[in-house]
Amino acid sequence: MLRSLQLESEKCTGCLQCEMACSYENEGVFNPSKSRIKVFTFHEEGRFAPYTCSQCAEAWCLHACPVDAITINPGTGAKDVSEDVCVGCKVCTIACPFGTVNYNADSGKVIKCDLCGGDPACVEACPTEAITYVDASNAGMDRMRAHAAQTIKS
C-alpha cells in the first residue's frame, strides 16, 4: 500500500516543528530555510498551512528533468531526486506548478520531499496531527481540490 502525506491546515498552529524536523533529518541542521516542507502564514486571518510536494501522479518535475535525476521510489512512490545525477539546472523547479521543488545553493542541486524514505520526520514532529502519513487513496489532488472549493465558499 502506498502512503502519502495528508496536510490539514485547520489543525496547524504555525509552530514550525515540521520545518525544523525536516531540515534536521535531511540536512543535519535546525534551519527552516533548508526544509522540504514549508508553513505558509495567512497573516490577516491568523491561519497557517503546511505544504510540500504532493508526489503527483503526473509528476511534471520528473518529466521535465533533462538528465532523469528524478525517479519514482518503488517502496514509497515518492519522486526522489538522485543527487549524484542532478546537474542543478532547475528545470524541475519551473515545471512544478506548486513550487515545492527547490534549489539548494549549498549543494548546487535541487531538493524536494522524499517522504524520508517512508518515515516522514515532519509527521513525527507535528504536535497537532496537522501532518499525517496515510493511505495514498485518502490524500492527494482530489482532497486538495475539495478543500480549496470549501475555502473559496467560506
Instruction: Report the pLDDT value the prediction gives residue 26, as an integer from 0 to 100.
Output: 96
Domain span holding position 40: 1-52+116-139
- Do 43 and 1 reside in the same domain of the chain? yes
Q: Report the pLDDT averaged over residues 13-17.
A: 97
- Do 40 and 24 reside in the same domain of the chain? yes
Alpha helices in the chain (DSSP H): 17-27, 60-64, 91-95, 121-125, 141-153
φ and ψ at 22, to 5 degrees?
-65, -50
Q: Could you give the number of structural domains in the chain? A: 2
pLDDT 10s digits, 80-115: 999 999 999 999 999 999 999 999 999 999 999 999
Does 148 fall in a domain? no
What percentage of the chain reaches a pLDDT higher than 90? 86
What CATH number did the domain enclosing 91 receive? 3.30.70.20
pLDDT 10s digits, 59-87: 999 999 999 999 999 999 999 999 999 99
pTM of the model: 0.86
Does 16 fall in a domain? yes
Instruction: Report the pLDDT value the prediction gives residue 154, as an integer from 0 to 100.
Output: 59
- Do 47 and 81 reside in the same domain of the chain? no
DSSP letters, 88-124, are ---HHHHH-TTS--EEETTTTEEE---GGGGS-HHHH
